[in-house]
Amino acid sequence: MEIQEYIDEAERDLLHTYNRYHLVIDRGEGMNLYDIEGKRYLDFVAGIAVFALGYGVKEYNDALKEQIDKVIHTSNYYYNVPAIRAAKALKEVSGMDRVFFTNSGAEAIEGLLKTARKYGYLRDGKTDHEIIALNSSFHGRTYGALSVTGNAAYRAAFAPMIGNIRFADMNDLDSVKALVNDRTIAVLFETVQGEGGIRPANEEFIKGVRELCDENNMLMMLDEIQCGMGRTGYMFAWQKFGVKPDAMAVAKALGCGVPVGAFLMNEKTGANSLKAGDHGTTYGGNPLACAAVCKVLELFEQKDLLNHVREVTPYLEEKLEGIKDRFDFIKERRGSGLMQGLEFDRPVGPVIEKSISKGLIVINAGKNVLRFVPPLVVEKSHIDEMADILIESIQETL
C-alpha cells in the first residue's frame, strides 16, 4: 500500500484525536527513522523523549525477546524477578525508597495524587486537601492528571475536574506561598516543563518549594516524566539542585518504548500513604516492562549516557543560539541538557512540516515553541545535520 492509502485508512479507522504529520514510520536505526518507502529521517523527537538509547539497540531488543520467551505477564499478586531488579535499580539511581510501576506517565501522576490525598488523610483525618500545581504544566490526559494540568484548553470540555487543585506560576515562589493554607498537602510540578514550552524550574524556586513543604508538612512531588532519565545530564533533573522531592513520577524513557512508568517516594511518604488495598494495576510492573527498565538502566550506565549528554549539550545549545540569532522572529532559546526549545513569535507548525519533508523530525511544545528532545545518543554530526535542515526549512517557510 502507498503512504497516502495508509493515511486515508488510518483517518477512517482511528479516532481523530491527533492531527498527524504526513509520515508512516516503518523502522528505526540509531538516530534515524525510516518510512515505509525507505526514506530516512533524522529524529530529534525520539517518540517525545522516549527512545533515549536510539533505535535498534541489539542488547535491548535481545533482553526483551528473552523475557518474551520466559513470561510476559504474571500478576501483581505474585513476585517477579524483573520487577524486583528494576525497582532496586531505580532506587539506586533516584535515591528514593519505594517504587510503584505503572503503564504510563498519566498513571504515575494519578499515583502521586492518591499518595498526596492519603498522606493528608493520615495527617489530619480530613479529605478536604488542596494540591498546588503550576500554570502551563502538563501531567497527562486522565482525570487526575488533567486536573493538575495548567492548560485550560486541555480541560475546558471535560469539567468538572477533580477538586481542590490550585495553580501557581513556575519560578514564582510567592505565587506558591500565597496559595498555602492548612489544607494544602502537596506541591506538584515538572522540574523542566515540557509541553508547556520547555521551561526549566530554577534553583531558587525548587529550593524554596522544598523549604515550604518541610515547614508545612506537605509533599514536594516532581513530574520527571519528560525531563528525567538522563535528559538533562542528570538521571533526574532535580539532582542538579541538591534537594530531593518526597515523591516523583517517571515514564517516557524509563522503558525506552515499552509502555512503563513509575511513581517513587521516600520512606516517610511510603510509610504514611498508600497501603495494601489502596492502589493497584493489572499490567503495571509486569515482567516484560520491567525487563525493559532493567536493561535501559544497565545500558545508561554502560554507555555512560549522562556524561555523553553533558558533553553534547553545549554544542546543541550553541547551534540553537546560532539559529536564534539568524532569525529575528526567534525570540528565545531555553532548556536543560537535551531538552531544548526555540520560541518563535509565531506558530512553528509550518516549519515542522517543512523539516519533515526534508528528512528531519522535530516537534512543537505549545504553538510557538520548537522542541528538541533527541535520543540521548545524539552526536555532534547529527546536530550539524539537524541545524542545516532546520535553517533551510525556516528559510523556505517564514
Ligand X SMILES: *Cc1c(COP(=O)(O)O)cnc(C)c1O
Residue closer to ligand X by CB (options 195, 317) is 195
Q: How far is the CB of 150 from ligand X (least distance, A)?
A: 12
Residue closer to ligand X by CB (options 105, 233) is 105
- In this structure, what are the phi and psi dihedrals at residue 263, rounded to the nearest 5 degrees? -120, 140
Residue closer to ligand X by CB (options 250, 342) is 250
- In this structure, what are the phi and psi dihedrals at residue 225, rounded to the nearest 5 degrees? -65, -40
Q: How far is the CB of 289 from ligand X (least distance, A)?
A: 13
DSSP-assigned states of every residue in 270-311: HHTS--TTS---SSTT-HHHHHHHHHHHHHHHHTTHHHHHHH
Q: How far is the CB of 34 from ligand X (least distance, A)?
A: 25
Residue nearest to ligand X as judged by C-beta position: 105
Residue closer to ligand X by CB (options 190, 317) is 190
Q: How far is the CB of 106 from ligand X (least distance, A)?
A: 3
CA pair distance 180, 130, nearest whole angstrom: 9
Residue closer to ligand X by CB (options 31, 108) is 108
**CA atoms within 13 Å, Cβ hemisphere of 269:** 30
Q: How far is the CB of 52 from ligand X (least distance, A)?
A: 14
CA pair distance 36, 178, nearest whole angstrom: 54
- The pairing of strands 247-250 and 219-223 is parallel
DSSP state of 235: S
CA pair distance 394, 22, nearest whole angstrom: 18
Residue closer to ligand X by CB (options 105, 197) is 105
The residue ranges that bind ligand X (CB under 6 A) are 104-106, 109, 138-140, 190, 194, 223, 225-226, 251-252
Q: How far is the CB of 92 from ligand X (least distance, A)?
A: 23
